[in-house]
Amino acid sequence: MISLIIMIVWLAIIFIVGIWAGKVAPIKTKEDWSTAGRSFRWITNYLTAHATQLSALTYMGFPAMMYLYGLPLFYAHYTSYMLGTCGFFVLFATKLWRLGKRYGDMTPADALTRYWGGGKWFGYLWGALQFWALIPYIQVQVLGAGLVFDLASGGIIPVWLGALITYALITIYVWLGGLRAVAWTDVVQGAVLLFGLWIGSIGIIQVFGGGIPNILSSAAAKLPHLMTVSGYKGWDWPYTISWAIAFGAGWGMHAHMWLRQLTPKTEKDGRIWTGIIFAENFVHGMLLLLAMLAIALVFPDIKKPDLAFLQTIEKFSPILYAILLAGVSAAIFSTIDSQVHILGVIVTHDFIERSGRVMTDRQFIWANRLTVLIAMAAGYILAMVYPGPLGILGMYPAAIGFMLYPPVLAMLTGQRWVTKEGVVAGLIAGGAAAVLFGPGPYANPLRIHFGIWALVANAVVMCIVSLFTKTKPPEDAVRAVIEAGW
């Protein structure tokens, strides 16, 4: 019961912080709602970006897959996330910040539509693809929230009710405070979830593993299939590498993470947070891998791997377990609130405003609020109707994000030869490949993750169609990207 009490206290704190953020700086303009006035110092931007990215997958889905498959999952997620998503931030966040500051960008569609000369249907396509990527991601988080409530209450609060409580709390504070409420709750949540992740992993390593040298030697002797990329349960090198590339790099293309590159107050703030997130991700990934190897050595027959990390901590420290449940809820809340916030911006800005409708600040804010309600409802319904292992569900949003890279990189590197027709055709081909080679009878041909096939289809079709079409980027748009530097 102590776990439930700590959870309730923690959620009350988060709710109060969210309400406070909306009251202290009331939402009055489109910029207030969408970007918080581009006002975040590096520590705020780092914590909101990291808290937004760390999710139910961090405490439940990815640890479960490390428990089941071992080292390949470290390669497939943490190494590749550091080099892919965090590497993208390091390389391009400053350029995107400069462009966003100059033109008032709010979403990926702003930068990409401007680069290829405008057109509302082009913007609609980008908005639709972001929806496709983010709705399943919200599904994962809502399901994870329900599981946390079920754990903390010892089954008193079932999954459906815990998910519904999450829906209500997040909707209220995002409704009132927009991105500023999201960011300030993320600051508090980011600190707690990083504390929980580090302390929980170190505790398992010491208590159950007997230290790092003992874990490595024991796992090499008793669990060799988890210590190498051997093809165990299908995780051979082609699948591991292709999963790593698609899964690790795909998150950076999601609109809520793109937005974090636009919100720093200064260019210096923008550079600092990207370097920190690059380094910390690798360290906590190593700690988590060692912890899950220790669990696999001591508890080889856990029935619900999604709960392995948390339930192992409960065995040696109920207090730390309760705190970690708060940390898991922090990871989940900080991801969902960012996702539903940006979906509101996409609907209002990329669809309604791009259609030609002029909206007052008040109309813009209310349209966003209604979209938050609808997006949360969609995630809740999907979580209840189509539950599944969190790590598996999470691969779809990442793969769809990864598929978007070819035109984004063409834009950010100032490629003049890539045409609007090529981009549209490539995105359609990539989306079709994701559907064909994703879940279903044709999944992952040649043991290569379907996200790779989607990106290849996008890139190849984009290049071929661009060679035979003429709508190239306007010269002033290309010049603006080049002048934005690195």
| Mean pLDDT computed over every residue of the chain | 85
Let me know: does 38 contact 263? Beta carbons within 8 Å.
Answer: yes
The tokens for 455 are 């990106």
Distance CA 293, CA 288 (A): 9
Closest CA to 166 of 311, 329, 310, 285: 329
What does the pLDDT read at residue 394? 55
What does the pLDDT read at residue 387? 63
Exposed/middle/buried for 233, CB within 10 Å: 0-12, 13-18, 19+?
A: exposed
How many Å is the Cα radius of gyration of the chain?
22
Q: Using 50, 70 and 90 to split pLDDT, how confident is the model at 1?
A: low
Parse the chain into domains and list their residue ranges: 2-391
Average pLDDT of the segment spanning 66-71: 88
Identity at 120, one-letter amino acid code = K
What does the pLDDT read at residue 360? 92
Q: What tens digit of pLDDT does each residue of 54-63 get?
A: 766 777 778 8
Q: Does residue 249 carry a pLDDT above 90? A: no
Q: What tens digit of pLDDT does each residue of 254-297 get?
A: 888 899 999 999 999 988 988 888 788 778 888 999 999 999 99
What does the pLDDT read at residue 207? 92
Q: What tens digit of pLDDT does each residue of 206-243 get?
A: 999 999 999 999 999 999 999 988 888 888 888 888 87
Q: What tens digit of pLDDT does each residue of 129-180 get?
A: 888 888 777 777 777 778 778 877 778 888 888 888 888 888 888 888 888 8
What does the pLDDT read at residue 74? 79
Q: What tens digit of pLDDT does each residue of 163-174 get?
A: 888 888 888 888
- Which CATH number is associated with domain 2-391? 1.20.1730.10
Q: Using 50, 70 and 90 to split pLDDT, how confident is the model at 468?
A: very high
Q: Using 50, 70 and 90 to split pLDDT, how confident is the model at 392?
A: low
The tokens for 471 are 């709508």
Weakest-pLDDT range from 331-335, 403-407, 429-433, 475-479: 331-335
Exposed/middle/buried for 211, CB within 10 Å: 0-12, 13-18, 19+?
A: exposed
